[in-house]
Each structure stands twice: as C-alpha cells, then as structure tokens.
Amino acid sequence: MSAAVTGADVGPVRGQVPAIALERVSKVYRGGVRALQDVSLAVEPGTFLAIMGPSGSGKSTLMHCAAGLDSPTSGSIRIDGQEIGGLGETRRTELRRERIGFVFQAYNLVPSLSVEDNITLPLRLAGRSPDPAWFGALVERVGLTGRLTHRPAELSGGQQQRAAIARALVSRPAVVFADEPTGALDLRSAHEVLALLRDLVEELGQTVAMVTHDPAAAAQAHRALVMADGRVVDTLDAPTATELAECLVSLGKV
C-alpha cells in the first residue's frame, strides 16, 4: 500500500492543465460535521480515477464539490483550469452543462423521451445541435445503434446506463463524474459498463472520476483514491480488487 496521497501524488503531466484540481478543500455541514478535511489533488486529462471508501468517508461529498453540485466551505476547485468557487449559480450551471458530464446509479433518463432525445438533451438545453459525426460515432461506440427510437423502459438496465454514458459524453466534456454507475446492474452488465468507461478513457482520452464502494469496480480504474473520515488516506496505481479490499479492512471500516 502506498503512502498517503498529496497534490503531487495525483498530479498532471508537466505542462498540462489538470482536468480536476482541488487545493485544500474542506466541507463542514451544520452541526460541525466535517465531510471533507483539507483535500488536495490534481488529476491529469485522460485518467480513469476511482474514489472509494466506506459509507460516510466523504467520497460523495468530494464528487459533489468537485462537480460544482455543492460548494466547499473552503479551498479551491478547478475544472479544466476554470475556478468554479467564485462562479454564480447561472454560470456554474452553464459550466456543468458544457464541461462536465454525469452518470448516476439510477440512469436519470427521461421516460417519455426516446433514447436519441435523452442523449442529446444536454445540448438542446444549451441551445446547441449535436455534431452528426460525433453523435453517430458515440452511439455506435456505446452499442445503441438501432435503439435510438426506443423509450428507456424498452431497454435493459445495461443499455439504459450506456445511453446515460452517451448523454454524458455528447457535449465532449472535460470530465465525466460517475456516481456508483454499476450499483443497479447485474454482474455482467456492470462489467460491460466498466469496460466501456475504461475504453472511452483509453480511446478518446476522456477523464472519468468514478465514486464507488465496490473494490471490483474500482479495480477497473487507472488509479484509486481511498477516503476515510473526510480525507484521502491512500492512493493506488493500477489497483487490484484484493488490494483495495485489504486497504478498507486495514482502516477498520468493513
């Protein structure tokens, strides 16, 4: 197991702007509950990063703050070089729409819309039209060719999650945040979705930050951060499920 992570441990290639950069980020909720404590990290573009830890470790709060869904109590957060802390809500919403993609456990597809309309929804909300070549290549890559006129209820869980991944990627974001993306899937579909995320990182240079409690899912990432009590307590490159499970056991959290 490696030493505790610092900003330099999870850092960009020299000369690159980090896709995600946090500097001394803390989050304190009412009642003095410290969900994040002085977290610093930088993630280079084209990285598949897993953020894991037991319940209450701060992993979801870290993702929500990094993605601009919540505001830290202190510290600096940059997405693709853009500081998001000082932005108003309107500009922050625009940044999320333009530079950040989201994949959730519950898919969050609109039941009344076709697969095609679900995928292109972020662009239409921004008043933009999809690039036909990119859209076609993306649909083919996620394996939904021939399914574009279907409604979400007509798809399997794995297909719905692949539609959600395509929706996250259609605007070509700097970062995709995935929150327990395999939590509602069977083992086979989960494996396919994780393999797809890994391939998109390696083939397209997409940056993906995935929150998960599952060591097997985290083992698909290039790097895993392990959190406990609001801090990043370890980082593992090319992690295995066994290493990650042992790390959690060593924390006395499982």
Tell me the CATH number at 227: 3.40.50.300
- The reported pTM is 0.88
The per-residue pLDDT for range 185-209, each reduced to its tens digit, is: 999 999 999 999 999 999 989 999 9
pLDDT recorded at residue 252: 66
Q: Does the residue 32 lie in any domain?
A: no
- Among the listed residues 136, 88, 92, the one whose alpha carbon sits nearest the alpha carbon of residue 116: 136
Q: Does the residue 236 lie in any domain?
A: yes
pLDDT recorded at residue 3: 31
Number of domains in the chain: 1
Residue 77 pLDDT level (bands cut at 50, 70, 90) = very high
Q: Does the residue 29 lie in any domain?
A: no
Q: Does the residue 126 lie in any domain?
A: yes
As given in the structure block, the two tokens for residue 233 are 């307590």
Q: Does the residue 33 lie in any domain?
A: no
Q: Return phi, psi of residue 175, to 5°.
A: -140, 140
Domain residue limits at 234: 45-71+86-250
Q: Does the residue 52 lie in any domain?
A: yes
- For 62, the enclosing helix (H) or strand (E) is helix 59-66
Q: Does the residue 241 lie in any domain?
A: yes
Q: Does the residue 65 lie in any domain?
A: yes
β-strand pairing of 231-237 with 223-228: antiparallel
The per-residue pLDDT for range 59-71, each reduced to its tens digit, is: 999 999 999 999 9
